[in-house]
Structure 1
């Protein structure tokens, strides 16, 4: 999370002199924002590692949920982030594991988040941006819906509910 906070601080420094904070919050739910809060969901590429068998796997279907709000009178804003987990398909007692993102993909996600904040909290026009997330290597096999926390919540881009 330290890397996320550092990238976020660098990008949030230019937000109209307001102080913004980023916090990890696994209790936020898609489609359930508090009054005055906004939501942004981003799909990304990440790596996972099973804490039981040590197997690792890549996924290009990792959902990241952001809830954000600005208190203009206090000149501050808050972003809550939830990184949806996956579990190992080989271990019967597998735990949901945290994704590991590259610095470049964190930077792109935070850049896109800043665009949403500028539009929704500061009334700015959408910028022209063509920067996308990257991943190296091949990903073989189907998306494991039964092992994807975002699929189980119905928000994964690979979920049948979409």
Structure 2
């Protein structure tokens, strides 16, 4: 799912928010912005089922461990900006020829559920709404996948933030 689709769903989910929030994208090579976000922001990490499409060789694959991080300010007095960071995977077919990561493409309903969870978190975190009870549910319940996890091809593993490490 390209960033523009995330943007459209973000605008839809956050349209009733009393403040104007924006969604931005963090490119994996922007280390200075990444370090700034790590230091000054809170984050919500989501892992779920997604598809990957390699543009270099047209290979496609699925993963139940695709990861995305949504960064948001520690305080409402700071900018009202959410930053999206995808953790990609390298293509098995052509990874030995390049160091290119393919971004995950989540289904619209999955993206919307992630953004709605963030919206509800903002309600209690920034706006003083009552914090809901934590519901323990497996977001991948209907799509269990037990395939091999190749750490050498996983950007989250290489960054030290994969749940499989």
User: For this structure pair, what is the TM-score category when the shorter chain's length is used for normalisation?
Assistant: 0.7 to 0.9
Matches within 5 A, 1:95-110: 95-110=100-115
- From 50, 64, 79, the equivalent of 1:60 is 64
Structure 1 unmatched runs, 5+:
none
Structure ranking higher in strand proportion: 1
Structure 2 unmatched runs, 5+:
none
Structure ranking higher in helix proportion: 2
Equivalent-residue separation in structure 2 for 1:105 and 1:14 (angstroms): 20
- From 123, 129, 137, the equivalent of 1:124 is 129
Equivalent-residue separation in structure 1 for 2:141 and 2:91 (angstroms): 20
Greater displacement, 143-152 / 121-130? 121-130
Partner of 1:89: 92
State the TM-score, normalizing by the size of structure 1. Answer: 0.81
Give the Å deviation of 1:115: 2.3
The number of equivalent residue pairs is 156
Equivalent-residue separation in structure 2 for 1:154 and 1:72 (angstroms): 29
Partner of 1:145: 151
Equivalent-residue separation in structure 2 for 1:30 and 1:157 (angstroms): 20
State the TM-score, normalizing by the size of structure 2. Answer: 0.79
Equivalent position SS for 2:105: coil
- The CA RMSD measured in Å over matched residues stands at 2.8
Assess if the C-alpha contact under 8 Å between 1:70 and 1:77 holds in 2: no
